[in-house]
Structure 1
Amino acid sequence: MTATRTIDELLAQYSDSHRNHTNELIHFVCVPLIVFSLLGLLWWIHPAVAVAVAGASLYYYWKLSRPFAFGMLVMALLMLSILAALPPVTVLPLSIAIFVLAWIGQFIGHIIEGKKPSFLDDLRFLLIGPVFVLSFLYRRLNLAY
């Protein structure tokens, strides 16, 4: 008998409240936007804070799955690069607007789904959401995680 990996268990649990196709599509858009907006809020405090939090989350992903950690590294670098390219005065208002709109989208998705967000039961799911979205890309590209 093969032991189930923690990442597989977390993705399976997260999937339980993300089965509706519309909710999944909303998550594909809103989860990356939420990550970007959170990095933006941290960037506004200081770019080193955003980099440090991204690094800490990447360490968590590394412990769960090295392929997912690599994918999240690519996404973090892309998002941090965009933040670095933005005029500093726009980072805070843009991040707040994206954060609010993306969370509204998430909650609409869960109303459609008829289930509460997973993170209300376990805060780890705030970090699993992005790899849940990434897992669809990995499966489509036939990449192991």
Structure 2
Amino acid sequence: MKSAVEQLSTYKSVHLNPTNIKTHFIGVPLIIWSAFVMLNTIPITFLKLTEPTLVLNVAGLCAVGVLIYYFKLHVRLALGLTLFIIPVLFSSYYVAQIEAAWIIALSVFVIGWVFQLIGHKYEKAKPAFIDDLNQLLIGPFFLMAELYFMMGFEQDLNQEITPLAVAKRRELEKGAPTA
């Protein structure tokens, strides 16, 4: 398994433009939320308690699996992602109960991807997942890292990944065809 530094520097290498990062702060949460609405519509429930309401279904199982991966990468960032995913799980569960759940989810999903694609126009680089599908999981992890950096946390991590990301970007640009 690649380290958090490797994963984040690879992702950041195509996310250096501040406008692109801002669009991702909108697009990625929209995509995650809509994906969880869709996962919540899968009629497999492993555990359901009515008082208090607790449901472990495909969406919850997926969240637990991804969070385990994040905890293996970086505990402090994973704690932030856990705080993010809890309201996503609850709100997506309730939206999945309404008749128009799939229409809502697909609409939000498309809007999220529009933000992503607009951001990459500013970046002038293809999305990270084009070369490595695992980077789809790193998007939320990267945004949590960026949020921590903005708040003054994990500055050693930021100082470690940024030069690596810039170097990776230079290598990508060397290999890019010139127009």
TM-score normalised per structure 2: 0.73
Q: Which has the larger radius of gyration?
A: 2
State whether structure 2 residue 61 is matched by structure 1 residue 52. Answer: yes
Per residue, is there more helix in 1 or in 2?
Answer: 1
Alignment of 1:65-144 (within 5 A): 65-86=74-95, 87-144=97-154
Identity %, equivalent residues: 35
Letter aligned with residue 137 of structure 1: L
2-side partners of 1:33 and 1:10: how far apart? 22
Q: Which runs of 4+ in 1 moved over 6 A?
A: none
Q: What is residue 40 of structure 1 aligned with on the other side?
A: 37
Q: Which amino acid aligns with 2:93?
A: A
TM-superposed CA distance for 1:110, in Å, is 1.1
2:71 is equivalent to residue 62 of structure 1: yes
TM-score (norm 1): 0.89
The answer on whether the counterparts of 1:83 and 1:91 sit within 8 Å (CA) in structure 2 is: no
1:118 alignment partner AA: A
Match of 1:31 among 13, 28, 32: 28
More strand by share: 2
Contact 2:30–2:111, Cα closer than 8 Å, also in 1: no
Q: Distance in 2 between matches of 1:142 and 1:25?
A: 18
Residue 112 of structure 1 deviates from its aligned partner by 2.1
1:6 to 3, 8, 24: 3
8 Å Cα contact 1:110-1:116 kept in structure 2: yes
Q: Please report the RMSD computed on the Cα atoms of aligned residues, expressed in angstroms.
A: 1.7
Count how many residue pairs are aligned between Structure 1 and Structure 2.
Answer: 141
3-state secondary structure, aligned to 1:88: coil
Q: Which moved more, 1:112-121 or 1:100-109?
A: 100-109
